[in-house]
Structure 1
Amino acid sequence: MSILDRFRMDGEVAIVTGGASGIGAAVVEALREAGASVIVADRNGEPSLDVADERAVDAFFADVVRRHGRLDVLVNNAGIAIRHPTLELSSADWNSVVAVNMTGMFLCARAAARHMLPAGEGRIVNTASVMGLSGGLYPNVSYQTTKGAIVNMTRALAIEWARTGIRVNAVAPWFVRTALTAGVLDRPGMQAEIEAATPMGRLAEPEEIAGAFLYLASRASGMVTGHTLPVDGGFLAR
């Protein structure tokens, strides 16, 4: 098998949560270009899925396997951000972010593994964030905390499932031009501050993040598990 063939995903089935827009939509396109059959799961799409709803998650994954006969890849991407300084962050908002960004990723990973384990193979790629590897540039404690949890959840699941054939990795994007970051980038001076803090001097585009997901979702990364890959224009290297 050539190295380029290892990036091919012909005949494989993938689920991408939060795949209707932004990074998720770019990942969906990348996996489809690589030959995978991709099912998009998103609260704002069709079919709709609330990743924080345990019964809905289990039923959704079971239905995908029933209809397609297999599940090879989960891109665990659904996430939200509620940005307030800590003293202004309500417990309800905190719980909302935790439910989607942390509990939702756990529920989806668990549901995927239940179907991957009998097959003896599978790949799970979580969406973390550079905010989970640093203190960030502005107050956003619920997002930063949950994304940090994803980094260690990735390690823990990778170790637990390493001998089963399931690999678990994560991608940690920096600021990307998406609807999720629009509210931040619209703040006066914020984009300039972000660009100044980024050695490459610019924001990322969703397509630039998608390549990292394709690598970790494909057999090209066959010996990689428990890793979080930052795509950050050099921010963490400073």
Structure 2
Amino acid sequence: MTTPASLDRFRVDGQVAVVTGGANGIGLACVQLLAVAGARVVVVDRDAAAAAAVASGIDGALPFALDVADAAAVAQVFDAIAQQAGRIDILVNNAGTAVRKPTQELAIEEWNQVVAVNLTGAFLCAREAARHMPAGSGSVVNMASIMGMSGGGLYPNISYQTTKGGLVNMTRALAVEWAGQGIRVNAVAPTWTRTGFIGPLEASPALMDRIRAVTPLGRLAEPDEVAHAVLFLASAAASMVTGHVLAVDGGFLAQ
């Protein structure tokens, strides 16, 4: 029988939670919520000063500067996190980038940049985090996107859509591979979310109107709405959930 004490399963007290891209937007919302839920948070971001500023406002938080596309640096930073924090219990693979251009105008260097961060970077961080997770436990939550589960269509964004689609299946593959180790791997697929990441899109009121029009709930998501889904998947409340992609999309994918 479910009791009020069951709500404790949504808490992550004493766990070490690493959030990449944790200094702003959805990543920052995840850092803040995981800390409130009891985790010792590790703020990982390319911007060292921003990571330090976020960590300075949270008891026990640790900041690390990292380019997730740098394989050697990822290994070094995750080793350092494990040494300072003792272990890693939760990884939120949130760091991401986009180059929104028509396919025929997209340079190979731009394609490679997006692949390196969104797909290779997520792989590297998941691999290194798993090496430091206690035996029989651990949770990875990847930040996918509705653009990894649909063809989009409102504007060209081929490298982003391709990498997020790859991240969806990476989630499933790792969930199956690591289940025997007790590591759960899930993903959240947000819709357009009110952060600086979509700032260039907001320059077009007509485009924003179209985005709202194709979203059944008729609005953008807020960062904390995505963070709550991340907390659920990271916590013991989702102990039987692995290989799942949870859309936080206002009904976009239901159409």
What is the TM-score normalised by the length of structure 2? 0.91
Runs of at least 5 residues in structure 2 that lack an aligned partner in the other structure? 53-63
Aligned-pair Cα RMSD in Å? 1.0
User: What is the Cα deviation at residue 154 of structure 1?
Assistant: 0.1
Residue 21 of structure 1 is matched in structure 2 by 24
**Aligned 1:1-238 pairs, distance under 5 A:** 2-44=5-47, 45-46=51-52, 47-116=64-133, 119-136=135-152, 137-238=154-255
| One-letter identity of the residue aligned with 1:26 | A
Structure 1: distance between partners of 2:248 and 2:105: 30
Q: Structure 1 counterpart of 2:217, which letter?
A: M
Amino acid at match of 1:143: Y
Given residue 73 of structure 2, which amino acid in structure 1 is its aligned partner? A
TM-superposed deviation, 1:184: 1.2
Q: Where has structure 1 moved over 2 Å in runs of 4 or more?
A: none
* % same residue: 62
Q: Secondary structure at the match of 1:194?
A: helix
How many residues in Structure 1 have an aligned counterpart in Structure 2? 237
CA distance in 1, matches of 2:131, 2:98: 29
Distance 1:68 1:237 in 2: 41
What is the distance in 1 between the residues matched to 2:166 and 2:204? Answer: 27
Gap regions ≥5 residues in structure 1: none
How far residue 188 of structure 1 moved from its aligned partner, in angstroms, is: 3.9
2-side partners of 1:3 and 1:105: how far apart?
Answer: 32
